């Protein structure tokens, strides 16, 4: 297993390099000019000087190589320095990836935005999984019962209605009409007392519920299908023929087998929810990384878009590896060495 993980990690490096080149190429082909957002009063030659200073006139490959150097050498060095409080080489004058619109280091902004995203998305992901898996188990065990039908009804809705619709519907009902929850997510809120904690929970409820409904829908259906596949297997009959009780038959014999594909799906969903966050954050005005990406695209902020999409790419590659490894851990029939 260890050797397999190392091999896969080494394979990930060329993969990620190619991904970053493709992202860079797409951004280069995209229309838009970071200098176009500047006030019209700026003379043409100043505008040209700004473009020159941003390195926009450099050849495409050179721009990419510069970004690569910043991303893989300067940024890791800076991270190490700030963690251990040391100075390696020319730490004062070291270049970092700068956002063109704010002139602040892109990664610092991303780190600032990350907690909001993780709170809402992580909450939605965990709540979604905690609801979906038990619902899937009961639905399969009591197939075609009223519970199963109700579960099917909700998961069909959850899966087929997009979050930008359910989100806005929730805002109209619970914020506008009933006034129960705020429609804006206040990032400046500091949780330091019971009241602020209640406020934090209140502002998280709607985005978390909307997103977890969506996540849970697919997962519940998947768990149900996987359980149904296994419930009719011969080994379940064998377990019953040994006198094993129903709870143990389901929770030990069937569930262990059914969770193999479910856990894989869960691991693969994690990078996916960052993508889903782009829309949800926009609706609920959560200034997480999803909103950051949308804003950066609007401002033609190439370094920011490049860095964010690259982080998404790393997450996808990483969680693919995690999915494969958990698959091997859960299913003794799979050996990687």
Partner 1 sequence: MTQAATPVLDVTDLATRFDTQDGMVHAVNGVSFTLNRGEFLGVVGESGSGKSVTMMSLLRLIPIPPGQIVSGKAMFEGQDLLAMELEDLRSVRGGRIGFIFQDPLTSLNPVLTVGHQIMESLDIHTDIPEKERPDRAQQLLELVGIPAAKQRLDNFPHELSGGMRQRVMIAMALACSPRVIIADEPTTALDVTIQAQIIEIVKELRQRLGTAVIWITHDLGVVAGLADRVIVMYGGQIVEEATVSDLYSDPKHPYTRGLLGSVPRLDQKGLKLVNIKGQPPSLWERPASCSFAPRCPYAFDRCRAENPPLMDVGPGHKAACWWDVDNGRPR
Note the residues at the interface with partner 1 (CB under 8 A): 232-235, 237-245, 252-253, 256-257, 260, 330-333
Q: How far is the CB of 8 from partner 1 (least distance, A)?
A: 23
What is the Cα–Cα distance from 16 to 29, expressed in whole angstroms? 20
For partner 1, which is the closer residue by CB, 171 or 239?
A: 239
Contacts of 212 (CB under 8 A, 6+ apart): 123, 124, 125, 127, 128, 131
Q: How far is the CB of 242 from partner 1 (least distance, A)?
A: 4
Q: How far is the CB of 68 from partner 1 (least distance, A)?
A: 44
What is the Cα–Cα distance from 222 to 260, expressed in whole angstroms? 11
Q: How far is the CB of 127 from partner 1 (least distance, A)?
A: 28
For partner 1, which is the closer residue by CB, 69 or 248?
A: 248
Please answer whether residues 276 and 164 qualify as being in contact, where contact means their C-beta atoms are separated by less than 8 angstroms. Answer: no
For partner 1, which is the closer residue by CB, 210 or 239?
A: 239
Please answer whether residues 271 and 312 qualify as being in contact, where contact means their C-beta atoms are separated by less than 8 angstroms. Answer: yes
For partner 1, which is the closer residue by CB, 58 or 246?
A: 246
For partner 1, which is the closer residue by CB, 116 or 257?
A: 257
What is the Cα–Cα distance from 306 to 316, expressed in whole angstroms? 15
For partner 1, which is the closer residue by CB, 202 or 237?
A: 237
Q: What is the SS3 assignment for 24?
A: helix
List the structure tokens of 271.
């990078």
Closest Cα partner for 223 from 256, 180, 262? 262
Q: How far is the CB of 148 from partner 1 (least distance, A)?
A: 15
Closest Cα partner for 267 from 325, 336, 188, 180? 325
Q: How far is the CB of 153 from partner 1 (least distance, A)?
A: 23
């Amino acid at each position: 297993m260890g050797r397999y993980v190392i091999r896969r990690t080494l394979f990930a490096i060329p993969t990620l390099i190619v991904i970053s080149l493709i992202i860079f190429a797409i951004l280069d082909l995209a229309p838009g000019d970071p200098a176009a957002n500047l006030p019209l009063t700026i003379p043409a030659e100043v505008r040209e000087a700004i473009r020159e200073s941003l390195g926009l006139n450099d050849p495409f490959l050179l721009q990419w190589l510069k970004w690569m150097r910043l991303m893989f050498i300067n940024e890791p060095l800076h991270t190490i320095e700030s963690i251990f409080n040391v100075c390696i080489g020319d730490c004062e004058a070291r270049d970092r990836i700068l956002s063109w619109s704010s002139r602040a280091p892109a990664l610092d902004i991303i780190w600032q935005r990350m907690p909001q995203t993780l709170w809402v998305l992580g909450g939605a992901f965990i709540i979604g999984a905690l609801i979906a898996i038990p619902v899937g188990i009961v639905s399969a065990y009591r197939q075609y019962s009223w519970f199963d039908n109700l579960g099917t009804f909700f998961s069909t809705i959850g899966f087929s209605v997009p979050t930008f619709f359910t989100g806005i519907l929730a805002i109209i009902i619970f914020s506008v009409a009933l006034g129960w929850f705020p429609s804006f997510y206040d990032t400046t809120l500091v949780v330091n007392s019971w009241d602020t904690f209640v406020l934090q929970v209140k502002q998280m409820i709607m985005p978390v519920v909307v997103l977890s409904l969506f996540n849970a829908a697919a997962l519940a259906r998947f768990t149900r299908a996987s359980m149904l596949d296994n419930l009719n297997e011969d080994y379940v009959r064998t377990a019953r023929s040994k006198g094993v009780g129903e709870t143990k038959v389901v929770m030990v014999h069937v569930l262990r087998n059914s969770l193999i594909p479910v856990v894989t799906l869960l691991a693969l969903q994690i990078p996916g929810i960052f993508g889903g966050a782009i829309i949800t954050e926009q609706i609920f005005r959560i200034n997480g990384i999803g909103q950051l990406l949308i804003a950066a695209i609007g401002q033609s902020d190439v370094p920011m878009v490049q860095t964010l999409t690259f982080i998404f790419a790393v997450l996808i590659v990483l969680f693919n590896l995690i999915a494969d490894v958990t698959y091997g851990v859960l299913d003794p029939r799979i050996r990687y060495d």
